[in-house]
């Protein structure tokens, strides 16, 4: 449909098309250099009645224009609301390469800082797959496993059950004591549990008003005197199928995922509040040695003075705002 619409337009003509919230992946590969433009409303808290923003990255519609050349620039305008975009908005121009990833996914950098984030992360050549790592979703679905859930420990008959509420930036708080009413233990049902090994746990969901989109914590097997552990379905976990992650890898990867750099990169490329395993797998990663170095420094509780990557040095307080100065 989008390709047909594009070719039906005359040079300079525009079309505004309403599209489903999750259709970016479906029609992204059909975008060509003749397609142009998008406006977005980034500050959802200031939305006014009638804006009906479903996807904060893509707004409520997509503007396309039949162009006259293969190379062109895309102008992105951001404002507090659609009604205010004519009076008070910030326009930023990017290239098609910055707008569309090879798989057809949209990225919407709205500032020079966002462009720098894309340039840094896109230059990384590593990936979870390249480092032998996999990402899965927690296997415990509460309503299906209700008979196995336990409010109190029962000796060796149960193991910890971790929910996304237990996951804080770079730490796990379990068990929760005040106001948390969900079961925090699970019976030893082997099909629902994972081995007690080193993981990186990530929340799968975040609220629109939350400061962070990526919230990760290292799970270290040495901290839990069990052989199995339960992971609720609202968690993603990173692991290595063939051999466990080292403590340095788990700690370093958690720190990187919690960094403001990757959090902003993820927001530029993903407008919804879900953190899907598929999108995590697509994240570029720096060299594994850098991840291990970050983990080693943090594991020894040494001050993280800087992290060197090629010729760049990054301030830890810029990258890792949760680290105490």
pLDDT tens per residue, range 264-303: 888 887 766 788 888 899 899 999 999 998 999 888 876 5
- CB contact at 8 A, 163 and 231: no
Q: Among 110, 142, 177, where does a domain finish?
A: 110
| Chosen domain end from 110, 125, 146 | 110
pLDDT for residue 131: 98
Cα atoms in the 13 Å half-sphere on the side-chain side of 92: 16
- 24: pLDDT strictly greater than 60: no
120, part of any domain? no
145 is a domain residue: yes
Same domain, residue pair 40 and 178: no
> Which residue, 75, 110, 145, sits at the end of a domain?
110
Sheet strands (E) in the chain: 14-17, 38-41, 62-65, 73-79, 90-95, 134-137, 149-150, 158-162, 167-168, 171-172, 185-187, 193-195, 199-203, 216-219, 228-231, 235-239, 307-309, 312-314
Whether 291 is covered by a domain: the verdict is yes
**pTM (2 d.p.):** 0.72
Q: How many domains does the chain have?
A: 2
- If we measure between CA atoms, which residue out of 206, 192, 179 comes closest to residue 142? 192
Please indicate, yes or no, whether residues 175 and 314 belong to a single structural domain of this protein. Answer: yes
Residues 295 and 160 in one domain: yes
pLDDT at 275: 83
Distance of CA 235 to the CA centre of its chain: 13
141 and 99 belong to one structural domain: no
| φ and ψ of 117, to 5 deg | -60, -50
Residues 72 and 70: their CA atoms lie apart, in Å, by 7
pLDDT over threshold 70, residue 117: yes
pLDDT of residue 224: 95
The whole-chain average pLDDT of the chain stands at 74
Please give the residue range of the domain that contains residue 196.
Answer: 134-319
Could you tell me if residue 124 is inside a domain?
no
Same domain, 91 and 221: no
| Token code pair at residue 2 | 């989008």
Q: Are residues 94 and 166 in the same domain?
A: no
């Amino acid at each position: 449909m989008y390709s047909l619409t594009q070719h039906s337009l005359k040079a300079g003509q525009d079309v505004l098309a309403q599209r489903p919230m999750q259709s970016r992946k479906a029609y992204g590969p059909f975008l060509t250099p003749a397609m142009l433009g998008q406006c977005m409303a980034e500050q959802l808290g200031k939305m006014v009645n009638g804006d009906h923003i479903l996807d904060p990255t893509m707004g409520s519609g997509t503007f396309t224009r039949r162009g006259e050349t293969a190379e062109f620039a895309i102008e992105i305008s951001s404002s507090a609301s659609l009604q205010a975009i004519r009076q008070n908005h910030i326009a930023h121009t990017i290239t098609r390469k910055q707008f569309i990833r090879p798989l057809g996914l949209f990225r919407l950098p709205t500032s020079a800082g966002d462009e720098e984030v894309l340039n840094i992360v896109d230059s990384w050549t590593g990936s979870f797959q390249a480092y032998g790592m996999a990402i899965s979703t927690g296997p415990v679905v509460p309503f299906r496993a209700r008979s196995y859930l336990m409010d109190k420990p029962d000796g060796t008959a149960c193991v910890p059950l971790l929910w996304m509420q237990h996951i804080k930036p770079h730490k796990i708080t379990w068990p929760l004591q005040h106001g948390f009413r969900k079961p925090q233990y699970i019976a030893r049902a082997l099909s629902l549990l994972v081995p007690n090994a080193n993981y990186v746990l990530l929340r799968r969901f975040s609220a629109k008003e939350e400061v962070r989109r990526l919230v990760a914590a290292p799970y270290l097997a040495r901290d839990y005197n069990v052989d199995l552990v339960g992971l609720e379905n609202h968690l993603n976990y990173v692991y290595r199928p063939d051999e466990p992650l080292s403590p340095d890898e788990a700690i370093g990867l958690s720190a990187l995922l919690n960094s403001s750099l990757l959090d902003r990169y993820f927001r530029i490329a993903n407008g919804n509040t879900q953190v899907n395993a598929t999108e995590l797998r697509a994240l570029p990663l720096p060299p594994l040695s850098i991840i291990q170095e970050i983990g080693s420094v943090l594991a020894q509780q040494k001050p993280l003075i800087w992290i060197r990557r090629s010729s760049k040095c990054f301030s830890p307080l810029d990258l890792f705002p949760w680290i105490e100065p």
